Amino acid sequence: MNTSYEEIKPSPALLPFVECYWLHYFETSSNEESPVQRCLPFGAMELIMHLDDNRAHVLFDTCWQKLPQAFFVGLYRDTVQWKPVGTGRKFGIRLKPESLLQLFNVPVASLFNNFTDLESFFGKSINRLIDDVYGLPDIQSVVQVVERFLLTQFKNLNAERNYVFEATRVIRQAKGNLSIESLSEHLAVSKRQLERSFKNSYGTSPKMYQRIIRFRNAYESFQQTSRTPNWLDISYNFGYSDQAHFIRDFKEFSNEVPTLVYQDTEQYFRRPAKHSTARRV
């Protein structure tokens, strides 16, 4: 089986809302299963669409089940295991969490650590997008269709100052290395009010989002290195109290200790820094 993974940046107008678009492609001459893939919790939300008839499977409640043709993924705190069977393409729109409320004005709190098919979440109007991208031969064509769709959402843009949106952005800018007390002082809202509003918006606490973002940045930092990282340095650089704290947090979000994730060759954790990669599995 051949597999490749590619990311594309959005147009400048959509950069405040979209992290990237991605394509994960698996090719085989039979119904061969890939090794189990793992998506780590990175503090983003995603609209994901299968571009062909073949759909991947996800491990949900200890059972493998076929994914919908198109689905929305809320904020996650757990690693998600999935696998394609045979040839197939998955395309994703990786959104900053506040984007759903700004562009679509839809609640996402109920989907913390969960997913649902797109029609159930956005309504039947989303089927036009699904139909328009289905079967397109290359990612550039898919991105063009998706960008036209997203740009039409500007009519719904909520541009008012919102301290929950701002809190989400500040946490990312700080790479998760700040306290919620400092964050609430910066935003001039009480810690209790921030926690309540954040959970009502996203389904989780600002502290959990902060921990996920810190984990993501620590993970991405050692994906840049060609030699086994110094875990003590990473612990210090990302504000963990000590190396043991970093390893506990890392294992909570990835189900593995950092060294095993770094050395992984079978269960391909998402590697954001490695664009346009292709490999044989």
Is 75 inside any structural domain?
A: yes
**pLDDT tens digits, 227-255:** 888 999 999 999 999 999 999 999 999 99
In this structure, what token pair is assigned to residue 221?
């930092």
Instruction: Please report the pLDDT score of residue 269 as a whole number.
Output: 55
Q: Give CA 183 to chain center in angstroms.
A: 23
pLDDT band, residue 280 (cuts 50/70/90): very low
Is 199 inside any structural domain?
A: no
Per DSSP, the residues of 168-179 read HHHHHHTTT-S-
How high is the mean pLDDT of the chain?
89
Is 224 inside any structural domain?
A: no
Q: The CATH number of the domain where 133 resides is what? A: 2.60.120.10
pLDDT band, residue 268 (cuts 50/70/90): low
Q: How far is CA 72 from CA 31, 76, 119, 123, 186, in A?
A: 26, 12, 9, 12, 32
**Residue that is written with structure tokens 């998506």 in the block:** 39
Is 74 inside any structural domain?
A: yes
Is 89 inside any structural domain?
A: yes
Helix axes 163-173, 191-202, angle to 10 degrees: 90
Domain total of the chain: 1
DSSP state of 51: S
Instruction: Please report the pLDDT score of residue 134 as a whole number.
Output: 95
Is 41 inside any structural domain?
A: yes
**pLDDT tens digits, 88-121:** 999 999 999 999 888 888 878 999 999 999 998 8
The whole-number average pLDDT for the span 182-194 is 96
Is 112 inside any structural domain?
A: yes
Model-level pTM?
0.90
Single-letter residue type at 25: Y
Q: Which domain holds residue 44?
A: 2-157+268-280
Contact 194, 206 (CB under 8 A): yes
Is 242 inside any structural domain?
A: no
Instruction: Please report the pLDDT score of residue 270 as a whole number.
Output: 53
CA angle 40, 42, 46 (to 5 degrees): 95
Out of 1-5, 111-115, 207-211, 242-246, pick the least confident.
Answer: 1-5
